[in-house]
Amino acid sequence: MGKTSLCALLLELCAGCGGGQAPAKAPDTGEAEATAPAGDGAGADAADADSEGEAEPEQAGALPTKCHKAADPCVPPPKFVEGLCSDTYAAVALHMFLPSAPWKKAYLRGKTKAWNASGGVSDNEAYLEFDEEVVLLKKRGGPGGIQVSGAEGGYDALRWDGSCVTLDASEVTLTAPPQPKAAKVEWRFLDEPTQNALRESETVVEAYRTRRKECKGAVSGTVSKKCVVADDALSQKIVDHVRSGGALGTPERMP
């Protein structure tokens, strides 16, 4: 056999060896690709397990719908509460009191002065009434908490008018009274989408028209007794609408 033929034979043998090794790598690559998603999935399952019971991610401009972690009582996420209690959000408050909302409610054991220990808006002349209903926003006191008056700690809570208050645990009960009261809901402080939604209720519209007739457009100052009665009646109709699960527009202004 000549040199030329021998070289050609050797080249063919080398090519054959190379062709046999290339497919051998394919199973290794395939296994690596198959293993990576499985690992990612396992990590996702573990993350889901760790996050079980926690609040959904907080999104700007959206109302929370789940309890913060596995908190007892069920309260909204801290960042939302911080924003909510930095001002007064009348329209948002109505959503917080809807029967479909998961938040825990409490009721006043007696007349109590309103104050906000979180440093937000506070009316020093306002009082909460006996049997008034509030939504609990934050538990105070205990390990790592902020102690308020009394050894039992207390809560930051939301009133029907959209204002936040700080209450001692001894000032509230979690047992609902036969007829819970509500802080006055002012029509003029509700945004347009909320007012439009409330106008779909015949009872609210009737109360609104009566209030407009008796008060003649007045929103403050000296008004007649009939105006005061009509104003209170409108507030109660709004509360009744919300407690019955009535429709509400999406608030324009959010914490």
- When pLDDT is averaged across residues 229-239 and rounded to a whole number, the result is 97
User: What integer pLDDT is reported at residue 140 of this predicted model?
Assistant: 84
238 and 160 in contact (C-beta within 8 Å)? no
pLDDT above 60 for 148: no
Q: What are phi and psi of 136, to 5 degrees?
A: -75, 130
Whether 24 has a pLDDT exceeding 50, the answer reads no
Paired tokens of 109: 């054991």
Q: Which of 239, 95, 136, 237 is nearest to 180 (CA)?
A: 239
Q: Judge contact between 151 and 120, C-beta under 8 A.
A: no
Q: Would you call 139 helix, strand, or coil by DSSP?
A: strand
Is the model more confident about 86 or about 151? 86
CA 135 to chain centre: 11
Bridge partner residues of 138 (DSSP): 156
Cα separation of 10 and 130, whole Å?
Answer: 101
Domain with CATH 2.30.30.40 in the chain: 78-173
Q: How confident is the model at residue 117 (pLDDT cuts 50, 70, 90)?
A: low
CA 62 to chain CA mean position, Å: 8
Per-residue pLDDT at 6: 43
- Rounded to an integer, the average pLDDT of 34-63 is 46
**Which amino acid is present at 45?**
D
| The predicted structure's pLDDT at residue 141 | 72
Phi/psi of residue 15, nearest 5 degrees:
-60, -40
The reported pTM is 0.72
Superfamily per CATH, domain 78-173: SH3 Domains (2.30.30.40)
Mean of the pLDDT values across residues 169-196?
96
Task: State pLDDT tens for residues 73-91.
Answer: 899 999 999 999 999 999 9
- Quick one: tokens of 79? 């960042």
b/e map 83-120, b = 16+ CB within 10 Å? bbbeebbbbbbbbbbbeebebbbbbbeeebebebbbeb
Tokens representing residue 131 in the block: 């049997």
Q: How confident is the model at residue 120 (pLDDT cuts 50, 70, 90)?
A: low
